[in-house]
Amino acid sequence: MIDRTEVRSPDGTRVADYDYALPDDRIARYPAARRDESRLLVVPPGDAPFEHLRFKDVTEILRPGDLLVVNESRVRPARLLGRKPTGAPAEVFLLGPAEHGDPRDWLALVRPGGKLKPGRTVDIAKDLTVEILDGAPGGGRVVRLHCEGPVEAAIERHGHMPLPPYIDREDEPLDRERYQTVYARAAGSVAAPTAGLHFTEELLSRLEAVGVRREAVSLDVGIGTFRPVEADDPTQHEMHSEAYHVPASVAEAVADTRASGGRVWAVGTTVVRTLEAAAGPDGPVRAGAGATDLFVRPPYDFRIVDGLITNFHLPRSTLLMLVAALGGYERVMDAYRTAVAEGYRFYSYGDAMVVLPRSGS
């Protein structure tokens, strides 16, 4: 006899509800020839039909008085490839500076982990050697970079761009530019805030010319963004924490936009997490620095963000759950099925989707 209590329809309450089939050739290994020529799937609220545009047509969606908030964190070339004294290959993946303040000391992941114990070294270049100092939580290491000149300059010279595993190729010179937004500033991320990769300077100027205001927050994207959700109950997933900074100009712009009847648009899930985490209990965005482990998933009451520009995300990911929280679970999963059927390119170097504000926004 079949236990009918186990038969249920997907409703967004389980991680398995966010699964979908994607042919391997739909994963974008390289970016579009031009940033703003990528495709754009428009997801209106309700049951209105989806629209298929080019990203440069976002000027038809945003309107005067709207606020566009971007993440200006810059991707650090965090992969240091070198060799052990024995000549065997080794990799040091820099996660960020160590907390105690010595600019030479960093938290890192290393390969091969079993061989690179405290006291061992990895030669990256003639002017850069990495010394393993100590262990760190999660199997990481505290390492010290021995180099000529400033540490960050040595990382820029010798580091490789940390492309996501699903791109399935080594980084190339083009990735130095294309796996970076045109408005990126201070280095701090180990993965790109990919929704912003579609903007060009020209497109941003066109939006400004029609009265769309742009402001920038900073959230340093950590390695946890690729961490799989292993539990089937989302409430059992431990969300990773990421550091952010909200300038006073952003808090003021959000308040001004709300007062004038404009809409607040987040460029990417990192901006959603930043703005929603920085919102006080009564709604206003608070300026300043902080860290957030906010897990946005259905149901979620958005206090700041009205609309979202985003890329297509991995199945069963916290990022896909965030998009579903704003656009509606069934609506967003239908959009993903449509994108697969229509031949959209997926993930970091892929096409984009825009979730329009609900009626009344």
- pLDDT tens sequence for the chain (361 residues): 334 345 456 889 999 999 999 999 999 999 999 999 999 999 999 899 999 999 999 999 999 999 999 999 999 999 999 999 999 999 999 999 998 778 999 999 999 988 899 999 999 999 999 999 999 888 899 999 999 899 999 999 999 999 999 999 999 999 999 999 999 998 889 999 999 999 999 999 999 999 999 999 999 998 776 677 888 888 888 888 888 999 999 999 999 999 999 999 999 999 999 999 999 777 799 999 999 999 999 999 999 999 999 999 999 999 999 999 999 999 999 999 999 999 999 999 999 999 999 865 5
**Sequence spans of domains, the chain:** 4-75+177-355, 79-160
Q: Which amino acid is at 103?
A: P
Q: Decide: 43 and 332 in contact? Cβ < 8 Å.
A: yes
Check: CB of residue 176 under 8 Å from CB of residue 79: no
CA 158 to chain centre: 24
Residue that has been written with the tokens 């967003």 in this structure:
332
Return the residue matching tokens 């206090």. Answer: 303
CA nearest neighbour of 78 among 201, 167, 213, 192: 192
CA R_g for the chain: 21
CATH architecture classification, 4-75+177-355: 3-Layer(aba) Sandwich (3.40)
Architecture of the domain spanning 79-160: Beta Barrel (2.40)
First to last CA, the chain: 50
